[in-house]
Amino acid sequence: MTFPQSPSPQSPSPQSPSPQSPSPPPEPNQPPDLSVRNVLPAVLVALVGVLLVSYALMAPIRILPYGESAASEDDVEFSVSTNSGTGNRVDYGVACDRSGVRCTQKSVALLSSAYMSDISLLVLQRAYQRRPFETLCLNSPGGSVFATIDMAKWVQAQGIQLCAAEGFVVEHRTGVLPLGCYSSCAILFAASERRLGVGALPVIGVHDVYYQQEFPRLNITALAECDLLSLAISYRLRRLGIPWETLSFFFATPSSDMYELTPTDIDHLQLFTQRI
């Protein structure tokens, strides 16, 4: 006789999983997240900086203002003591102080330029061919810094002494013409190896580069972009022999302002190698 087997006791059901404990905090020396989304903005910023510096270093030496077309020597009508029609003029006479009493003994040349550009250099070269000069006085509110670099190279190659004077007396004329050398004109003067100062305080005004004018095709809005361009331009000017201290002093004033050098500034920067 068989008996039905009693059902075996059921095994206890498995326990429900306990709630997960919080994950430990990341270790402090974990490598940075180098995903494309995190790295791409930094790469783009660096690329823009490289392009700006490359543009400033490799830009043509002569950049014309406001879309002005390049001129050849045949396009520049020039005669001594006659306006060339391009806002540039070369005269001959003596550099003096404001009173016209203390002047240079020898005749010197005077470049008056409404805006220094490549045309200024062409006018200057033609005047030098017709009547060479050893000293050149400057009278200009400024212009393109790249045209200034070109003019500085030519002045250095000819061994010409540049002059910053309080006034100028043109040949066969009376009266003292007041002079002033501002902006890129001051840079051109500082690039000369021999720099003559005539009078107690010749007017020399300095400020930073006007980047929107020098680089009209670039949309320059960020301060960092101006810093990069300033570094590239300063490097090119330093190669002309202008000390870093002088460049830093010149560019300390914003491009929207103008700072006229004092006698203390001129002495501190050793801007004149000779004085009358």
pLDDT at residue 85 tops 50: no
Predicted local distance difference test score (pLDDT) of residue 48: 54
E strand spans, the chain: 88-96, 108-113, 135-139, 161-165, 167-170, 177-178, 181-182, 195-198, 204-206, 259-260, 274-275
For 92-151, the pLDDT digits (tens) are 999 999 999 999 999 999 999 999 999 999 999 999 999 999 999 999 999 999 899 999
Predicted local distance difference test score (pLDDT) of residue 102: 94
Q: Is 172 left (phi over 0), alpha (psi -120 to 50) or beta?
A: left
CA 170 to the chain's CA centroid: 32
What pTM does this model have?
Answer: 0.70
Whole-angstrom CA distances from 168 to 102, 213, 270 are: 11, 30, 23
For 216-273, the pLDDT digits (tens) are 655 555 544 566 777 788 888 999 999 999 999 999 998 889 999 999 999 999 999 9
